[in-house]
Structure 1
Amino acid sequence: MTRETLTSRFGPRILARSVVKSRSTFQARFAKVRIDRVRQADTKIGLLHHVGGGNLGDGATLEAVAGNIKRRWPNAEIVAFSMNPDDTERRHGIRSHALRQSCWSIGYGPTGADATFKARVKAVTRKYGRVFYLLKAAGAVVRLPIEMLRELSFLASSRRTIKSFDLLIVSGGGQLTEKDGPWGFPYTILKWVVLARSAGVRCIFLNVGAGPLNQPLSRFFARRALMAADYVSLRDDKSRTLVYEIGFAGESRVCPDNVYGLEVPATEGGACERGSQPIVGFAPMPYPDPDPSGFAAEKNQLAYEAFMGKLASFASWLSSRSYRLALFGTDIGVDPLAIRDLQRTLLSNYGIPSPQYAANHSVKSVRDLLATMAGMDYVVTCRFHGVIFAHLLNKPVLAIAHHPKVTELMADLGLSSYCVDIRDFDVSLLADRFASMVKNAEEIKSRMAARLTSNRQQLRCQFDELFRFEGA
């Protein structure tokens, strides 16, 4: 969003506050914590993120924020608030607390007894549909008081936990969204911000994405959470525009996605640079998202099969032009299913066996993913952080956008010509865009490198402002 658009839409006073005061206000409020607590070398910081389902973009965000803080405040204690505390502790080596009552397993499914119960419910639903829905309505009436008591107990326990912290950072990328409805992400974010502020703990939103936020209750939860924070930064202009549209009138700034702050190891370059056959990294995803309800499930399955068919046709086109294809995913929870379906479609429709494709099954972490992508020459991806990972490695990228945030990111990078909409693209369009990308690869890489330097510099300045060591 341009300065003129902000001025016309929200008025010069709000614009002045957001641009001029965004640094000074937070620094003044945070100074006591930063000076007194850092000198005592015992600052305790919570990173709140819906992480733990297997999305490596989420994992990279957590690593980038924690790493940047530790490099500036080496004695700070970093703790995560996660949807999968056990996995977060094991994968990232930091202590973790549950973000909600019901947590995720890898793949975003429920854990333990909840998973078993839901599987049984689905089986009954398929067999006795009408009876089930009547029982479900009656059960909701019975469960509501029980769920309320459980949530009150969780809130009391969570407040005891948060009291020991000095700062709570909402650090994930797409946190201000309606995923799981108003009582999913929006309520969870507000809940923890209110608990923290009631315990005297400072709160900041660090380069988060916003949207979609269409339901009034979602907008209310998000607005109140933002208003209670000491510092707000969004990862793009569109997110900033949205938070003003839902009624937030406080100070804010725009800074690149936190993953741009990730330390990336040096790489040797792709196959082309080594004189070998060029490799195209191809990252499919499950689209549309699965929906358990009758007609919608059938409709989504048809759309998914059509999507897989187009991807397989494009992959066959690449193969016919002597490109090697490396199938990979940036979400180890759900993308492997899409990879297997794509392999089956390639075999059944084009007689291309999967051994010709370097489907990588050893990717378990962000480091594994970056090492795998380092050997690629070009990347085709559907996901937001798939684009960012390609950008970090300076790989020309073609995006099949499943969400406006992907389209906005590609536009921000000056790569709109290499972005198609997942809903209505065709294979010929994808092939034309890819051919253009290959033809202009060096110019694209030069443009991406310049933008990467700028993004990383902006993040360094932001972390320096917020976490400068004052005790030296």
Structure 2
Amino acid sequence: MTPRNGIPIRVGVFGLLGSGNLGNDGSLEAILGYLRAEHPEAVVDALCGGPETVSARFGIPATRLNWYRGEYRTASRAGSIAAKGAGKLVDVFRTAAWVRRHDVVIVPGMGVLEATLPLRPWGFPYALFLLCASGRLFGTRVALVSVGAAAIRNRPTRVLVRWAARLATYRSYRDAQARDALRAMGVDTARDEVYPDLAFSLPAPPSPALPASPGRVCVGVMAFHGGNDDRARAEEIHRRYLDGTIRFVRALAEEGRTVRLLTGDAVDAPVVAAILDAVDSPLVTVAETSSLADLMKEMAAADSAVAIRYHNLICALKAGTPVLAVTYAAKSEALMEGMGLGAYCHPAREVDADRLLEQFRLLEKRSAELRQTLAERNEDAVRRLKHQFTALTAALFPTTDQPHRHTTPHAHAPVRQETP
């Protein structure tokens, strides 16, 4: 695409990026790869949760998503409550000013239209609504790309999510259930498409240079306390999940299996510590990972895996490693079904270590067959995502030269992505 009047098109990326969630950052990496390959002339920056991390890792300018730095900490004192409230007002103008400087804003993947984990309406749903409303106000094209969505019971959250989706220029979903959920919330999805998660467009992990320990199992863990509707029994759910996972890991170690514990977010560290404390074995170790590429390498070196976080599952599937999903939302079940492993799911809210072990052994018995299935499904996912990127270009990057509607020059450098 030729820049209009010699001025490069200005693209913003938006979301809880750089905040410690490897899945979110993997989605950003995928979109930046698309922009670098298809629109190298674009000037890219971010409005995100962790601007320092995003700038350091991906080489693009970034601005903090919220004016109030304590946005995602619980406000209990009058001062912090007042500051958080003031921040909501300030963010209206900050978000509008940022959006107005761009021709296109992309929200890359992530579960931005769901509340399957604890979520307050005045948190990210409010921020997403401000983004999409500002886009409509200033004529900036806003794209929700391969996003997750789910039914939302909380009315204020549902209203904000519904209007954010309605105001977006482009929408696509990472599974059919997400599209159905948004339709049920009153959004016209007749022209919306379903594509795989953006992480499937990332490079496949290389084969391990050295043979991994025979029988190695990757176990992805999570600080899981249920979702929005489980707040009253959050600790009970967490305890059951943790106890079941500890029993499962202990059983593997007692069989002489090497276990690698994986996380997907900084908040998962206490779960890892609890497992290591309860299972005192040199066979149980923790993988140091800082990207989805790191997670994929770990998964590729394993014979099999068990995981709960959505993008840990994707890393195993992308690596071609048979994985058993500990599921807390329909998105994980849809993902596993789509990749041919729908029979290997276990409920996160009701973890039963004995049943989990039984399912895991059945998974391993079919390992060779499942690896072949995953190879075929991965090829199809890559093909479908190439089709999405073509559609995204058609929707967001017009080929006809038109007068640039902004009068102030953009100072940001063209997109560059550092190797993690």
Query: Corresponding residue for 1:370?
Result: 296
In structure 1, the partner of 2:34 is 68
Q: Counterparts of 2:263 and 2:84 in 1: how far apart (Å)?
A: 36
Question: 1:417 is aligned with what amino acid?
Answer: A
Q: Which has the higher helix share?
A: 1
SS at match of 1:334: helix
Contact 1:280–1:376, Cα closer than 8 Å, also in 2: yes
Q: 1:247 aligns with which of 176, 180, 186?
A: 186
Q: Which has the larger radius of gyration?
A: 1
2:204 to 264, 268, 285: 264
Indicate which of 328, 347, 352 corresponds to 1:402: 328
1:166 pairs with one of 85, 96, 103: 103
Whichever residue aligns with residue 122 of structure 2, its letter is W
SS at match of 2:146: strand
Equivalent position of 2:54 in the other structure: 88
The whole-number CA distance in structure 2 between the counterparts of 1:263 and 1:301 is 38
The residue number in structure 2 matching 1:285 is 222
Alignment pair present for 1:206 and 2:140: no
2:169 matched residue in structure 1 = 230
1:36-51 aligned at under 5 Å gives the runs 37=4, 40=6, 42-51=8-17
Asked if the contact 2:175–2:195 (Cα under 8 Å) also holds between the matched residues in 1, the reply is: yes
Note closer, same or farther for the CA distance 1:212–1:244 as it changes in structure 2 (3 Å cut). closer
Distance 1:45 1:413, change over 3 A: same
Amino acid at match of 1:329: T
* Structure-2 change in CA distance of 1:377 and 1:103 (3 Å): farther
Deviation digits for residues 176-233 of structure 1, max 9, x if unmatched?
Answer: 1245322222221110111122222111111111124212222222222222222211
AA partner of residue 415 (structure 1): L
Report the alpha carbon displacement of residue 147 of structure 1 after superposing the two structures with TM.
5.5
Contact 1:61 1:259 in 2 (8 A): yes
Distance 1:327 1:377 in 2: 14
Q: In the alignment, does 2:22 pair up with 1:56?
A: yes
Cα deviation, 1:237-291, whole Å, max 9, x if unaligned, reads 11111111111125211111111111234223884xx6x5220001121221699
TM-score by length of 2: 0.85
In structure 1, distance between residues paired with 2:210 and 2:324 = 16
Q: Judge which range, 236-245 or 281-290, deviates more.
A: 281-290
Cα gap change, 1:305/1:154 in structure 2, threshold over 3 Å: closer, same or farther? closer
3-state SS of 1:207 partner: strand
Check 1:103–1:91 CA distance in 2 against 1; reply closer, same or farther (3 A cut): farther
Which residue of structure 1 lines up, in the alignment, with residue 66 of structure 2? 100
Look up the SS of the partner of 1:358 in the other structure: strand
1:450 to 376, 394, 397: 376
Quick one: which of 154, 160, 167 aligns to 1:221? 160
Q: Alpha carbons of 1:283 and 1:148: their partners in 2 closer, same or farther (altered >3 Å)?
A: closer
> What letter corresponds to residue 147 of structure 2 in structure 1?
V
Q: Which runs of 5+ in 2 are unaligned?
A: 401-420
Structure 2 residue 135 is matched with structure 1 residue 196: yes
**1:186 counterpart residue number:** 125
Q: Does 1:417 align with 2:343?
A: yes
Of residues 219, 228, 238, the one that matches 1:304 is 238
Q: Structure 1: how far apart are the matches of 2:239 and 2:49? A: 30
For 1:336 and 1:432, locate their aligned partners in 2 and report how far apart those are by CA, in whole Å. 27
Structure 1 CA distance for aligned equivalents of residues 45 and 320 of structure 2: 32
* Bigger RCO of structures 1 and 2 (CA < 8 A, at least 6 apart): 2
Residue 364 of structure 1 deviates from its aligned partner by 2.3
Q: Say whether the 8 Å CA contact 2:305–2:321 is kept in structure 1.
A: yes
After superposition, the Cα gap between the structure-2 partners of 1:265 and 1:426, relative to the gap in structure 1 and judged at 3 Å, is closer
Give the match's secondary structure for 2:286: coil
Does residue 338 of the first structure (1) align with residue 271 of the second (2)? yes
Q: Match of 1:329?
A: 263
Determine if the alignment matches structure 1 residue 157 to structure 2 residue 90: no
Q: Determine the C-alpha separation between the residues in 1 that align with 2:206 and 2:368.
A: 19
- Kindly indicate whether the alpha-carbon contact (under 8 Å) linking 1:277 and 1:322 is maintained by their aligned counterparts in 2: no
1:364-386 deviation digits (Å, cap 9, x = unpaired)? 23333333333212111011111
Conserved in 1, the CA contact under 8 Å of 2:44 and 2:60? yes
* 1:104-143 pair list within 5 angstroms: 110=73, 139=78
- Contact 1:51 1:58 (C-alpha < 8 Å) held by counterparts: yes
Aligned to 1:313: 247
AA paired with 1:431? L
RMSD: 2.8
Measure, in 2, the Cα distance between the counterparts of 1:215 and 1:308. Answer: 27
Q: CA deviation at 1:64?
A: 0.5
1:16-52 superposed Cα distances (whole Å, 9 cap, x missing partner): xxxxxxxxxxxxxxxxxx6554x83611111112223
Q: In the alignment, does 2:305 pair up with 1:388?
A: no
CA contact (8 A) 2:96 2:130 kept: no
Aligned residues: 393
CA deviation after TM superposition for structure 1 residue 173, in Å: 1.7
**Shift of the alpha carbon at 1:357?**
1.8
Contact between 1:174 and 1:210, CA under 8 Å: does it hold in 2?
yes
Which sections of structure 1, spanning at least 5 residues, go unmatched?
A: 1-33, 122-135, 348-352
**Contact 1:330/1:386 (8 A) holds in 2:** yes
Does the aligned pair in 1 maintain the 2:23–2:264 contact within 8 Å?
Answer: yes
The amino acid of 2:60's aligned partner reads I
Match of 1:358 in 2: 285
The CA distance in 1 between the partners of 2:119 and 2:142, in whole Å, is: 23
Can you list the C-alpha shifts for 1:131-163, whole angstroms capped at 9, x where unaligned? xxxxx6xx49x966x755543333223322222
Counterparts of 1:174 and 1:213 in 2: how far apart (Å)?
Answer: 12
SS across alignment from 1:181: coil
